Amino acid sequence: MGAAADGDAYWELPIPAQGDAPAEAVDLTKSLNPGACGLCHLRQYREWRSSLHARAVGPGLLGQLPYMDIDDAEYCLTCHAPRAEQQARILTEPDAPQPEPAIPELSLLPRAPPEPGGVDCAGCHVRAHRRHGPEHKPLTPHGPVTGLALFEASDFCAPCHQFPPGTGELLGTPLQDTHREWAASRHAAAGIGCQDCHMPGGSHTFRGIHDPETTRRALRIDLTRTAQGIRLRVSNTGAGHAVPTYATPRVRLQVRSVQDPMHQVEHIIQRTLALDPDQGLVQQSDTRLFPDQSVTLDLRLTPAETGTARILVEPDAYYHAVAYPALLAELPEDAHHQRRQLRQAQADSGTSAYVLFEGDCGVWSGQQARCRLREGGLGPTTDAASRVDR
């Protein structure tokens, strides 16, 4: 059976309730709580805890669910909390205090996560209480582990990172199209899949655009002082899909004169969406960099002028500027709890911005020269970043 066929059977969503653990299983292996897996798989647990998969049930999602009909809410949870047990808990008692994990709190573990834990260990590895992984292992404390080639294939990630063609499309392109972008890239042709870049050495951190170091790996930057001024060229050489692959982040390229800061150019890399009162979600433009595409930005300067360049990444720009403000505006007056959740999400989404690179170019020296580039720091927040240039 090929990995794709495996995937259809393995990724029945929602993942059916697992039922009772086999009677012969030892207590520690009966729990599906990630903290329980973490007692024996400490490295994977620590890494996963730091990932966005562990935080996929956050205030931005929870603040919306009560105002959706049940079908829509279940649809959202297919990717954000894929197990039937998680969904039952979230949909029937969203505000219930999260139960303590069914395992003792050990000092060597980071604090156990509150259930339901988002995209968790069991969601990816356990079906009907049986563990699945990249290799068959006949003898473990939780019985034999079933080996599936699917675990090393990009198809494994597709159920949640690719809308089926024909669904959720804007101008003919699904809102989430990551697997198809990848399949058309040179990386796919070379046999480099999602796991090779996002789980190097079996890592479970799943870093993406929220992590500056990962984003730096995606882009080649050439910043040059030419006779006419400054040229900034940015190429997607290292991501196996568009940069960014989603419509929610924004990447801003900015070049300006030091002597005259009003003299500046900006280019925005983003699939830009807006909420139209009549048509709902509409696409305004798509300037993302697909694999091996480049963009060039020129600023004219006199030979005596100097300039600076900067690349700013706002991973949650759409949520911050469009989605959360619209949701907050629609909330009924008495929805105090949801308002708090969405305000929290709104605030969080404004703090994820970072400067990817900054560079300085000197006066024209008589010959073309590369300018000095350095890695930027954290912040400014999306709000501050937007103010800088408006």
- CB closer to ligand HEC, 116 vs 193: 193
Would you state the structure tokens that stand for residue 278, as one six-digit string?
A: 């009549």
Per-residue binder mask for ligand HEC (CB under 6 A), 24-63, x = binder: ----xx--x-x-xxxxxx--xx--x---xx-xx-x-xx--
**What does R_g of the chain's alpha carbons equal in angstroms?**
23
Find the shortest distance in angstroms from Cβ 7 to ligand HEC.
10
- CB closer to ligand HEC, 307 vs 315: 315
Find the shortest distance in angstroms from Cβ 184 to ligand HEC.
11
Buried b or exposed e, range 113-134, using 16+ CB within 10 angstroms: bebbbbbbbbbbbbbebebbeb
Which of 255, 337, 252, 345 minimizes the C-alpha distance to 300?
A: 255
**Binding span for ligand HEC by CB under 6 A among 192-200, 272-280, 292-300, 303-311:** 192-200
Per-residue binder mask for ligand HEC (CB under 6 A), 232-271, x = binder: ------xxxx-xxxx-xx----------------------
Find the shortest distance in angstroms from Cβ 275 to ligand HEC.
14
Q: Closest residue to ligand HEC, Cβ-based? A: 240
**Cα(49)–Cα(249) distance, rounded to whole angstroms?**
23
Q: Is residue 106 near ligand HEC by the rule CB under 6 A?
A: no
Residue 54 backbone dihedrals phi, psi, to 5 degrees:
-70, -20
Q: Is residue 79 near ligand HEC by the rule CB under 6 A?
A: yes
Find the shortest distance in angstroms from Cβ 273 to ligand HEC.
11
Find the shortest distance in angstroms from Cβ 229 to ligand HEC.
28
Find the shortest distance in angstroms from Cβ 264 to ligand HEC.
25
Find the shortest distance in angstroms from Cβ 14 to ligand HEC.
10
**Binding span for ligand HEC by CB under 6 A among 92-100, 209-217, 360-368, 376-384:** 209-217
* Out of 2, 110, 141, 377, the residue judged to bind ligand HEC by CB under 6 A: 141
Find the shortest distance in angstroms from Cβ 200 to ligand HEC.
8
Find the shortest distance in angstroms from Cβ 246 to ligand HEC.
3
How many residues touch ligand HEC under the rule CB under 6 A: the total is: 90
**Cα(337)–Cα(141) distance, rounded to whole angstroms?**
43
CA atoms within 13 A of residue 293's CA, in its CB half-sphere: 15
Per-residue binder mask for ligand HEC (CB under 6 A), 359-378, x = binder: --------------------
Q: Is residue 198 near ligand HEC by the rule CB under 6 A?
A: yes
Q: Is residue 345 near ligand HEC by the rule CB under 6 A?
A: yes
**Binding span for ligand HEC by CB under 6 A among 129-137, 255-263, 293-301, 360-368:** 129-137
CA dihedral 123, 128, 131, 137 (to 10 degrees): -160
- CB closer to ligand HEC, 232 vs 239: 239
* Out of 90, 121, 255, 385, the residue judged to bind ligand HEC by CB under 6 A: 121
Q: Angle 55-60-66 (CA atoms, 0-180°, nearest 5)?
A: 115
**Cα(363)–Cα(244) distance, rounded to whole angstroms?**
33
Q: Is residue 209 near ligand HEC by the rule CB under 6 A?
A: yes
**Cα(6)–Cα(188) distance, rounded to whole angstroms?**
19
Which of 234, 200, 194, 202 minimizes the C-alpha distance to 218?
A: 234
Site for ligand HEC in 285-324 (CB under 6 A): 315, 319
Contacts of 258 (CB under 8 A, 6+ apart): 305, 306, 307, 308
Q: Is residue 144 near ligand HEC by the rule CB under 6 A?
A: no
Q: Are 188 and 195 in contact (CB under 8 A)?
A: no
- CB closer to ligand HEC, 123 vs 380: 123
- CB closer to ligand HEC, 36 vs 230: 36
Distance of alpha carbon 102 from the chain centroid: 29
Buried b or exposed e, range 22-58, using 16+ CB within 10 angstroms: eeeeeeebbbbbbbbbbbebeebbebbbebbbbbbbe
CA atoms within 13 A of residue 279's CA, in its CB half-sphere: 9
Q: Are 245 and 180 in contact (CB under 8 A)?
A: no
